[in-house]
Structures are given as structure tokens and as C-alpha cells.
Amino acid sequence: MAKGKTPTIFIDGEAGTTGLQISERLARLSHIAVLSIAPERRKDPAARQALMAEADVVVLCLPDAAAKESTALAAQLGAAAPRLLDASTAHRVNPDWVYGLPELTPAQPAAIAAAARVANPGCYPTGAILLLRPLIDAGLLPADYPVSVNAISGYSGGGNAMIAEYEARTAPGFELYGLGLEHKHVVELQHYSGLTRRPIFVPSVGDFRQGMIDSIPLHLDLLHGATPARIEECLRARYAGAEYVRVVVAEAKLEPEALNGSNLIELSVHGNAARGHVVLTARFDNLGKGASGAAVQNLGLMLGVEVETRLAAAE
């Protein structure tokens, strides 16, 4: 990008939930230009490719198959191809893409900043990875520990059909899903957490629009000398200075909507040393740090500019 040039973004799939929230965040930034496509041309490959040629970064807010098609369209531009930030599941464990979780390791922000292709993390894996990876890296949690991740999300994470059912008041107040134990987020969760044993992942959805909690129960006698205090100390040391990750004192109750509209994530250690049990929790907005807020955070790193990750209502 030329010095002094205004960074230009094209959101391919701007009419979806993630695309709309990214647009809302970027609209508040005068130092970033956002290209928009006419509604009737959103499925026109030539029109989309023309906008890609004008953009510094293209954000893919599309289903997996469509994201792969858009990646191919961008690649056809050769030397004029833009950088890509993919919010779909399509490229998250692809070695040719950098994983867009800046807090994953100390080196991750620089890797994202230099990358031509960045894969935005999934909502559920974000919380679980941020809880597990530091413990595995520190040797407190064995990599082959039989981890179970229980999670609840607002219905906005389920796509247009689920949103329509809940807003029409035809959906149940709560339901477990993914009970075939083949949820597409499991591969990503295992890969970036450092687990060698496939975790059990049990997602659920509740009758609220957005907000999320991941919870991970652990048995202390199966850990490497870990106590609740040591686990919390490990997390605090790992995320000291992190702008968006907070390790907070455990509360007796958690509700999932407290961080809506922000890009924050709160990690807590709920321990009972006498019983030898710990539950790790991560609370965040599935549309914030779990999707659009995280995407804007990554755009800031890729473009080397200050960004606003919050929605206006979160101020």
C-alpha cells in the first residue's frame, strides 16, 4: 500500500450478519474507505472482481464454498490481487493462510500484519483456544487431556434460517445441537489449542440474539500439579497487556450478553480445590470477538492503522 494512500476495503458478502457489523464498525473510521457493490450485482463475479482490483483488503463474509470461489476470483488478478481476510470456515486450518487470532502467541500479531491471506477465527473456538493454549504451552494441561467444551451462543450465530425462526418466535428457548459430534469447529479448536486428543464439543443456542460462553471442566488430579490459582496465574501472565483479553475474578453466575457490542473477551477460573475440580470460562460477543470485532481487529493489523472494534451502542 502506497504511503499516504487511504486503505480501501471491499466486503464480499456485506449484506450478511457479519458483513453488516463489520461495515458498521468501519463506517466510523474516516481513514478507511469501504467499497460497496450494488445489491443487484452481489452475485456477479465480474462486478465483484472489479471491486477486488480496487481494494487493499477483501473481507469474505460468505459461506465456505462461496469464499473459496471468491479466493479464486482474487487470485486471477495476479499481481493486482488484494489481500484477503476470510470470515468463513473454509481456510482456518489451511497452512497457506495465517490464523487471525492475534492473542494466540506473542508472534501472531506480526504474522497477521505481514500475511496476504488471513483466516478469521470461529466464534466457539476463540474462547476455548484462549483458555487452553496457555495451559498446554506452560505444561499445566497435558496435550492428550480428554477435554470437553460446552458452549452456548445467541441465535445470531446460526445463520439466517435460525435467526428467522427465533425472531418469528417459532424456535425453542434452548436447544443442544451438533450431537453427531462432527461440528466443523472441532478441527480448528484442536489444531490451535495444541490438543493431541480430539475434544468433545457440545454447542447450544439460547433465545437471545447475541452473546456467548464457552466452559471447560477439568479434573485437577489429571493435570500436572495445577491448582486453580496456578491456572489463573498462567492465564494472567499470558494475556498481560492484551487489549481485548481480560482475566477476571470468577463470579458465582455468568450470563452471556454482558459484553455485547464490544470486542472484549473475559476469561475466568472457577475452582474448588477441595473437590479437585475447575471450570474454565470464556465470555464474549459471538458477533464481536467471535466474528466482526475480531475481523476489524485483524484489519487494523493488516493495514497498520488504528481501528474501532466496538459498535457505537457499546460505548
Residues marked active site are found at 123
Contact 45, 73 (CB under 8 A): yes
Laid out side by side, the sheet with 265-272 consists of 174-176, 200-206, 148-154, 212-219, 277-284, 265-272, 245-247
Angle of helix 185-193 relative to helix 123-137, nearest 10 degrees?
Answer: 20
The three cell numbers of residue 308 are 474501532
Amino acid sitting at position 135: L
Instruction: Classify the C-alpha dihedral 216-222-224-225 as positive or negative.
Output: positive
Q: How far apart are CA 270 and CA 279, in angstroms?
A: 5
Contact 211, 160 (CB under 8 A): no
- Does an H or E element contain 265, and which? strand 265-272
Q: How far apart are CA 289 and CA 42, in angstroms?
A: 26
The three cell numbers of residue 253 are 453466575
Q: How far apart are CA 197 and CA 194, in angstroms?
A: 9
Quickly list H helices, 9-122: 17-26, 45-54, 64-75, 108-114
Residues pairing with 270 in the sheet: 279
Query: Which residue, among 302, 1, 311, 315, has the nearest Cα to 156 in the 3D structure?
Result: 311
The three cell numbers of residue 234 are 498462567
Q: How far apart are CA 248 and CA 282, in angstroms?
A: 10
